Structure 1
Amino acid sequence: MQMLQVQRLEKEEIRLVGFSVKDSLNNIVKSNIVGILREELVNRKNEIPGKKGDDLYLIRFIPRVCGLLMYLTLISLESK
Structure 2
Amino acid sequence: MYDPIENCFSSLQAHINDCLALMKDEMNNPVLTMNGEPISKTEARMQLLERAAHVCMTKITQRMVQKLEVHVSKFVSAAVRMEDMVYGA
TM-score (norm 1): 0.32
**Which has the larger helix fraction?**
2
TM-score normalized by structure 2? 0.30
